[in-house]
């Protein structure tokens, strides 16, 4: 006997319910103003071209807790860590009395096409580290890199070891050639020079399409079918709209930096092969001696855990720890299921004696 | 007005549910589109875009259900799979065409000059190739002939890459359908909801898709179609830049040259500033050392 039995009457009812739910969703949408993201107040300490260093002061600064500089990825926007007040890693860190500095890379335009990784890491990030140290009145800063920002942070620490006290890498790609690294597999045969010659700066929309193509049905059909539930009430709808806004808010990538990152990391895997140079300086992970906390998401489809975990043994860190969180690449920041796991891990790490 | 329309839709939904024959579904698309068009004026951009997605989803969902309902009161498994396969192939084709669209201007050129609508959407490029090869050569200057030849070559390459790429998707779809069938047969409970079926389908598809994109063949096909499309875009930009240069207008290429020089100069300035800082720092250190060596002489002088 077949396991499928679509009854016409039930089917009709289902379609009617689905459409009635859509009408309800429409009502919910009507009541919601345009969503606001990244609402935590910040002070801009430094502006270099389009790059800004933001300072977030905790309401009650804990003098025993060292400050933290967060380096986000060039792709997408850093307000992922402050999506809504209810889903804000930033707010949780501030609640722990941690002073947070955040690098906002801005939106590159045509005039930034020739910015390279040397500019981003040895100039912009370096100046941000200096400024954060000066502001916090310390000689060394704790650095946390997220995703590509984690890769940048590893390179930075290898090149400027004296300026960093502790390092945290969060959902960070390290080995770009692990078999389950789908994004990397798809990038392997792309003619990167042709891409930059064609587009100049690589459009953010193109990158979004690529991310979507990693799970096209789940991120397309499934998400659309779930829309009436995602928009069932105001609170869910605001979260959903904020997330959608973040997904769509994808800056273009400076052509030269994109080309270098694609070739050196994705295609040639130079970071783990000890063959990477940035601004003519060799980047050796073995030069990293700082205490290092490597956090990855077990369900990450963009940066598989295998890629992040490859960091173990590649540095000379005197205190290397891994922390896994059962979540996806984005869920690790915004999912309510995670509670305070991430902020606790970061806060504890900053306090830990090593 | 929108509220009135919604109220009408609601009333109509209720009445329809109570009185209409089982196998009929409302023409939901027209109503939702009216709602969308009116709602658009009142909602913020992001909300309006979402409403557009929802409308499309509603139309697709209703259309597919309607298609099933027209068959029999009790839907048979075999015909379901046939319809579902068609439904999915259409969605998949839409996805591929949207993703690998020709550059807008090229698409327009093909449509206005060479595309006979009777050929449908399957092979417009081949039709266009015929158009190009039929151009009277003497009517064109040499440079233009070369450009068209290059364009023809690129289009041909893209067509082949596209064909190869879509073949992968046909295989993904077929395997996914098989997996869906297996999942349904192995299911402990009878499946009676379209949404449940969709969910099973999403799981089956993602498994089939993940397997395929992990293959070297798919990765090559993906790289190839990406590259051929970019080559076409670049060709078009090259033509545009040449045209702009002829008119004495600064093209993107000349702007890029300027940006490249500015960037190189900025780096140089930064290096000089860094050297200057080092020199200043060394000078200060030197002064300090001098003072340590002979502080009394400094005091005397």
Cα angle B162, A183, A270 (rounded to 5 degrees) comes to: 120
Q: Give the distance from CA B114 to its chain's centroid.
A: 24
Going from the C-alpha of A226 to that of each of A328, B7, B26, B113, the distances in angstroms are: 18, 24, 22, 43
Q: What is the mean pLDDT of residues A297-319?
A: 96
How far is A325 from A299, CA to CA, in rounded Å? 9
Helix, strand or coil, per DSSP, at residue B92: helix
How near does any CA of chain B get to the CA of A198, in Å?
Answer: 5
B61–A15 C-beta distance less than 8 A: yes
pLDDT the model gives residue A107? 97
Between B6, B199, B220, which is nearest A23 by CB?
Answer: B6
Q: Which residue from A minimizes the CA distance to B274?
A: A123
Active site annotation includes A147: yes
| Every domain of chain A and the residues it spans | 43-351
Q: What is the ipTM of this complex?
A: 0.87
Of the candidates A11, A34, A222, the beta carbon closest to that of B68 is on A11
User: Are β-strands A276-278 and A281-283 bridged in parallel, bridged antiparallel, or unpaired?
Assistant: antiparallel
* pLDDT per position as a tens digit, A75-125: 999 999 999 998 999 999 999 999 999 999 999 999 999 999 999 999 999
Gap between the Cα atoms of A284 and A155, Å rounded: 8
Report the pLDDT averaged over residues A3-28.
Answer: 79
Task: pLDDT band for A273, please (50, 70, 90 cuts).
Answer: very high
Looking at the predicted structure, is the pLDDT value of residue B230 above 60?
A: yes
Residue B249 CB contacts under 8 Å (≥ 6 apart), including other chains: none
Cβ atoms B179, B204 nearer than 8 A: yes
Query: A9-23, B115-129, B168-182, B231-245: which has the minimum mean pLDDT?
Result: B115-129
Say if strands A51-56 and B74-75 run parallel, antiparallel, or are unpaired: unpaired
A207-231 b/e (C-beta count within 10 Å ≥ 16 → b)? bbebbbbbbbbbbebbbbbebbebb
Q: Is the pLDDT of residue A277 over 60?
A: yes
Spatial contact of A20 and A27, defined as CB atoms under 8 Å apart = no
Contact B62 A123 (CB under 8 A): no
By CA distance, what is B212's nearest residue in A? A182
pLDDT at B25 over 60: no
Q: What is the DSSP letter of B74?
A: E
Interface test mutation site (partner A, options B60, B184, B263, max chain A beta carbons within 10 A): B263
Residue B267 pLDDT more than 90? yes
CA end-to-end span of chain B? 93
Residues with Cβ within 8 Å of residue A302, at least 6 apart in sequence: A147, A171, A183, A211, A214, A329
Write down the pLDDT at residue B11: 60
Give the C-alpha separation, B162 to B164, whole Å: 5
Chain A CB contacts of B47 below 8 Å: 29-30, 32, 34, 241
CA angle, B259 then B265 then B266, to 5°: 85
Cα separations in angstroms, B159 against A193, B100, B258? 22, 11, 36
Residue B170, pLDDT score = 87
Task: Determine the pLDDT at residue A88.
Answer: 94
Q: Which fold has domain A43-351?
A: Rossmann fold (3.40.50)
Mean pLDDT, to the nearest integer, of B195-215? 89
Using the beta-carbon criterion (under 8 Å), do A222 and B202 form an inter-chain contact?
yes
Mutate which of A181, A203, A216 to disrupt the B interface (most B C-beta within 10 Å)?
A216
Structure tokens at B264: 């190189």
Which segment of A168-182, A211-225, B49-63, B280-294 scores lowest on mean pLDDT?
Answer: B49-63
CB contact under 8 A, B51 and A29: yes
Are A299 and A332 a contacting pair, CB within 8 Å? no
So what's the pLDDT on residue A293?
Answer: 97
Give the pLDDT band of residue A23 (cuts 50, 70, 90).
Answer: confident
Identify which has the larger pLDDT, B138 or A60.
A60
**Structure token digits, residue A30:** 């009507």
Q: How many CB pairs under 8 A join A and B?
A: 210
| pLDDT score at A294 | 98
Q: Going by C-beta distance under 8 Å and a sequence separation of 6 or more, which residues neighbour residue A46? A: A52, A53, A127, A128, A131
Asked if residue A349 lies in contact with residue A166, where contact means CB atoms within 8 angstroms, the answer is yes
Count, residues in chain B: 301
pLDDT range class, residue A69, cuts 50, 70, 90: very high
Q: Among the listed ranges A169-173, A204-208, B146-150, which one has the minimum average pLDDT value?
A: B146-150
The number of beta carbons lying within 10 Å of the beta carbon of residue A72 is: 24
Which of A198, A237, A263 is the best substitution to test chain B (most B C-beta atoms within 10 A)?
A198
| Domain ranges (residues) in chain B | 1-75, 76-249, 258-300
Mean pLDDT, residues B199-203? 87
User: A12 and B65: CB-CB below 8 Å?
Assistant: yes
Please give, one letter per residue, the 3-state secondary structure of chain A: CCCECEEHHHHHHHHHHHHHHHHHHHHHHHHCCCCCCCCCCCEEEEEECCEEEEEECCCCCCCCCCCEEEECCCCCCHHHHHCECCECHHHHHHHCCCCEEEEECCCCCHHHCCCCHHHHHHHHHHHHHHHHHHHHCCCCEEEEEECHHHHHHHHHHHHCHHHEEEEEEECCCCCCCCCCCHHHHHHCCCCHHHHHHHHCCECHHHHHHHHHCCCHHHHHHHHHHCHHHHCCCHHHHHHHHHHHHHHHCCCCECHHHHHHHHHHHHHCCCCCCCCEEECCEEECHHHCCCCEEEEEECCCCCCCHHHHHCCCCCCCCCCEEEEEECCCCCHHHHCHHHCCHHHHHHHHHHHCCC
The better pLDDT of the pair B57, A264 is held by A264
CA distance linking residue A271 with residue A253, whole number of Å = 20
Report d(CA A198, CA B154) in Å as an integer: 14
Q: Averaged over B54-68, what is the pLDDT?
A: 78
Q: Which of A252-261, B33-42, B63-72 has the lowest mean pLDDT?
A: B33-42
Q: Collect all residues of chain B within an 8 Å Cβ-Cβ radius of residue A12.
A: 17, 22-23, 25, 65, 69
Longest CA–CA span in chain B (Å) reads 113
Average pLDDT, chain B: 77
In chain B, which residues have their Cβ closer than 8 Å to the Cβ of A111?
A: 259, 262
pLDDT of B18: 58
Q: What pLDDT, on a 0 to 100 scale, did the predictor assign at position B196?
A: 82
Of the candidates B213, B259, B263, which has its C-beta nearest A186's C-beta? B213
Distance CA A67, CA A141 (A): 7
Pairing assessment for the beta strands A6-7 and B74-75 based on DSSP bridges: antiparallel
pLDDT, one tens digit per residue, over B94-135 is: 777 777 766 665 665 555 544 444 443 445 555 555 555 555
pLDDT at residue A63, rounded to an integer? 82
The rounded distance, in Å, linking the Cα atoms of A112 and A273 is 29
For residues A253 and B301, the model is more confident at: A253
Mean pLDDT, rounded, for B234-260: 87
- Comparing C-alpha atoms, which of B54, B239, B140 is closest to residue A18? B54
Whether B35 and A26 lie within 8 Å, measured CB to CB: yes
Residues of A in contact with B230 (CB under 8 A): 191, 194-195, 198-199
Nearest one of B111, B291, B92, B96 to B205, comparing CA atoms: B92
Neighbours of B127 (CB within 10 A): 15
Phi, psi of B141, rounded to the nearest 5 degrees = -65, 160
Mutation target among B58, B100, B104 for the A interface, most CBs of A within 10 A: B58
Percent with pLDDT over 70 in chain B: 67
Identify the pLDDT of residue B122: 46
Residue A198 has its nearest CB partner, among B192, B222, B234, at: B234
Per DSSP, B191 falls in state: B
Min CA distance, A281 vs chain B (Å)?
15
A255, pLDDT greater than 60: yes
Q: How far apart are CA B35 and CA B1, in angstroms?
A: 9
Dihedral angle sign, alpha carbons of residues B67, B72, B77, B78: negative
Residue A62: pLDDT above 60?
Answer: yes
Candidate list A128, A133, A147, A155, residue with the active-site label = A147
Please give the Cα distance from B83 to A105 (Å, whole number). Answer: 49
């Amino acid at each position: 006997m077949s396991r499928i039995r679509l009854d016409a009457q039930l089917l009709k009812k289902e379609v009617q319910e689905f459409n009635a739910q859509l009408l309800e969703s429409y009502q919910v949408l009507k009541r919601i103003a345009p969503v606001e993201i990244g609402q935590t107040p910040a002070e801009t300490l430094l502006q270099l071209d389009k790059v800004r260093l933001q300072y977030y002061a905790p309401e009650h600064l804990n003098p025993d807790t060292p400050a933290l500089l967060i380096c986000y990825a060039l792709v997408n926007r850093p307000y992922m860590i402050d999506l809504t007040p209810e889903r804000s890693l930033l707010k949780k860190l501030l609640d722990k009395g941690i002073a947070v500095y955040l690098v906002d890379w801005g939106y590159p335009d045509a005039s930034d096409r020739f910015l390279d990784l040397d500019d981003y890491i040895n100039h912009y990030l370096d100046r941000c580290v200096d400024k954060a140290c000066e502001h916090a009145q310390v000689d060394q800063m704790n650095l946390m890199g997220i995703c590509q920002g984690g890769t940048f942070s590893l390179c930075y620490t290898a090149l400027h070891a004296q300026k960093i006290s502790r390092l945290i890498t969060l959902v960070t790609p390290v080995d770009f050639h692990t078999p389950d690294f789908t994004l990397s597999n798809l990038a392997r045969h792309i003619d990167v020079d042709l891409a930059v010659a064609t587009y100049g700066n690589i459009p953010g929309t193109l990158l979004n399409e690529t991310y979507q193509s990693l799970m096209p049905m789940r991120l397309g059909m499934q998400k659309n079918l779930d829309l009436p539930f995602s928009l069932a009430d105001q609170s869910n709808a605001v979260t959903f709209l904020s997330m959608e806004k973040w997904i769509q808010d994808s800056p273009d990538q400076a052509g030269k930096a994109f080309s270098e990152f694609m070739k050196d990391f994705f295609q040639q895997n130079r970071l783990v092969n000890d063959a990477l140079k940035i601004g003519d300086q060799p980047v050796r992970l073995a030069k990293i001696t700082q205490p290092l906390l490597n956090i990855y998401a077990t369900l990450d489809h963009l940066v598989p855990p295998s890629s992040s975990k490859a960091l173990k043994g590649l540095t000379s860190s005197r205190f290397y720890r891994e922390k896994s969180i059962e979540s996806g690449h984005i869920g690790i920041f915004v999912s309510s299921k995670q509670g305070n796991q991430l902020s606790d891990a970061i806060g504890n790490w900053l306090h830990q004696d090593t | 007005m929108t509220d009135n329309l919604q109220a009408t839709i609601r009333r109509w939904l209720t009445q329809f549910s109570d009185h209409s024959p089982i196998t009929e579904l409302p023409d939901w698309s027209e109503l939702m589109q009216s709602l969308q068009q009116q709602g658009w004026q009142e909602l913020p951009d992001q909300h309006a875009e979402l409403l557009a997605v929802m409308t499309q989803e509603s139309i697709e969902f209703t259309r597919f259900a309607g298609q099933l309902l027209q068959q029999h009161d009790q839907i048979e498994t075999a015909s379901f799979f046939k319809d579902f396969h068609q439904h999915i192939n259409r969605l998949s084709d839409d996805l591929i065409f949207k993703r690998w669209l020709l550059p807008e201007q090229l698409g327009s050129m093909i449509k206005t000059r060479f595309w006979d609508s009777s050929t449908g959407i399957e092979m417009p490029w081949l039709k266009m190739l015929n158009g190009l090869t039929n151009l009277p050569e003497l009517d064109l200057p040499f440079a233009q002939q070369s450009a068209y030849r290059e364009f023809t070559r690129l289009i041909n390459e893209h067509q082949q890459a596209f064909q190869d790429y879509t073949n992968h998707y046909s295989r993904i779809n077929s395997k996914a359908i098989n997996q869906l069938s297996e999942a349904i047969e192995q299911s402990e409970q009878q499946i009676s909801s379209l949404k449940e079926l969709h969910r099973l389908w999403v799981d089956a598809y993602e498994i089939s898709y993940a397997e395929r994109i992990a293959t070297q063949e798919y990765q090559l096909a993906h790289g190839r179609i990406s590259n051929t499309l970019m080559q076409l875009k670049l060709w078009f930009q090259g033509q545009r830049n040449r045209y702009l240069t002829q008119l004495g207008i600064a093209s993107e290429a000349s702007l890029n040259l300027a940006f490249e020089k500015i960037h190189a100069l900025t780096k140089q300035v930064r290096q000089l500033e860094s050297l200057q800082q080092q020199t200043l720092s060394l000078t200060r250190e030197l002064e300090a050392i001098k003072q340590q060596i002979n502080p009394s002489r400094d005091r005397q002088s």
